[in-house]
Structure 1
Amino acid sequence: MIKPLRIKKTTLILGLVIVTILSSSFSKKENSSSIYDENCVRPTQLSTVLTLEECERIINVPFTGSSFIGFKEAVGFKESRNRYHIVNKFGYMGKYQFGKSTLRRLKIYNVENFLRNPEQQERAFMALCSLNKHILRNDIKRSVGKKINGFEITESGILAAAHLGGAGNVKKFLRSGGNTNFSDAFGSSIQYYMKKFSGFDVSSIEASKNPLI
């Protein structure tokens, strides 16, 4: 009577030990492999890491049409895969990868709050488009419909390129006939953005010297 009970108790204890070891091993493996940076590679800063689930959710940007909504979602996907909370290794933040100087120009000073506030990020993108449209209004009139380096210039392409490299660099590109072609730290160029984001309807964006957030 006693012997079988001892065997069962020993087996139970052994089983619990094995389960504990396996659980601990799995937990360590999960902790070491489920944290990634903004490119789903490996940790950088605590504010930029992603979980495995978030990385697995990264898919192609959904079709949202050629309206301004389609434009901003396409730009957001290119910049950050439409993730509001990330900061890249150069310090550019959020869905649209804003730099601190651009945020200050839009009178946004609380970076931590900005990263936690998708609505503010969307308003900031619209405001920047509105500001760039004002700055580039004459270049838009002169250049839209013309071809540079074999592709047609569109208003949405101009605004996307301005988001990448600033309105000043877009002016240099257009006024040099495409000979002055700024590229960012990742190698994306003014010309590339003009081509990639051409053909969207951004007529709903009103040019403004002092856009409100």
Structure 2
Amino acid sequence: MRYLIFAFIGFVVFASFTTPKIKKEKTTTTPKTAYFAEEVNIPFLRNDFVGFKEALAFKESQGRYRVVNKLGYLGKYQFGRETLKRFRIYNTSYFLKTPELQEKAFVAYCKVNKWILRKDIKRSVGRTINEIKITESGILAAAHLSGAGNVKKFLRSNGAIRFNDAFGTSIESYMKKFGGYDVSNITPDKKARV
């Protein structure tokens, strides 16, 4: 019994050092009292291309480079084998073991998609389709999900032609989830290489 009491006291002391202190603070937006943590370590992604690619990678593979899903899509960004062939990447084993190659392939794919969709980006950014504000990053994310051709059909039909991948994920959900990132540093390039 004595050991149980010491263990409990040790846990309470440990917990008091590891949990964030809570500060009672009144807010101006609601009449009720709100509580906020003084120190919280929450990962923060910037609103730039790095934030965009890391958010997309987390959705695709939880940011894991060596993952292959049940449909055979590969790596951190879940590339299909045909897409990799476009960049002259044929050795998928090597691709999975090489994070730098995966990062370069993602940038190249964004450049190609931005070139393919350049006119649609110019016409569509700022519009609202099916209650989704269209942004350049949303378009690039949707192209990563479904291919640039399906995104063209969606935009040019004003959202009437829709696409879902094999898991039921829609172009619209990617446009909404990944909208608003600054991807202006990605230049359109028809012949982007890895």
TM-score bucket (shorter structure): 0.7 to 0.9
1:64: how far off?
1.8
Q: Give 2:185's match in structure 1, choosing from 186, 189, 204.
A: 204
- Mapping for residues 1-213 of structure 1, pairs under 5 Å: 62-213=43-194
CA distance in 1, matches of 2:43, 2:78: 20
Structure ID, larger Rg: 1
CA distance in 1, matches of 2:159, 2:173: 11
Identity percentage of aligned residues:
63
Helix, strand or coil for the counterpart of 1:126? helix
Read off the aligned partner of 2:166 and give its amino acid letter. Answer: A
What is the root-mean-square deviation of aligned Cα atoms in Å?
0.9
Read off the aligned partner of 2:179 and give its amino acid letter. Answer: S
1:212: how far off?
1.8
Read off the aligned partner of 1:163 and give its amino acid letter. Answer: H
Q: From the superposition, tell whether residues 107 and 141 of structure 1 become closer, same or farther in structure 2 (CA, over 3 Å).
A: same
Helix, strand or coil for the counterpart of 1:201? coil
Deviations 1:137-156 (Å, cap 9, x if unpaired)?
00000000011011210000
CA distance in 2, matches of 1:104, 1:208: 17
1:190: how far off?
0.5
Helix, strand or coil for the counterpart of 1:163? helix
CA distance in 1, matches of 2:43, 2:186: 22
- How many residues are matched? 153
Normalising by structure 2, report the TM-score. Answer: 0.78
CA distance in 2, matches of 1:77, 1:196: 12
Unaligned regions of 5+ residues in structure 2, if any?
Answer: 1-41
Read off the aligned partner of 2:131 and give its amino acid letter. Answer: G
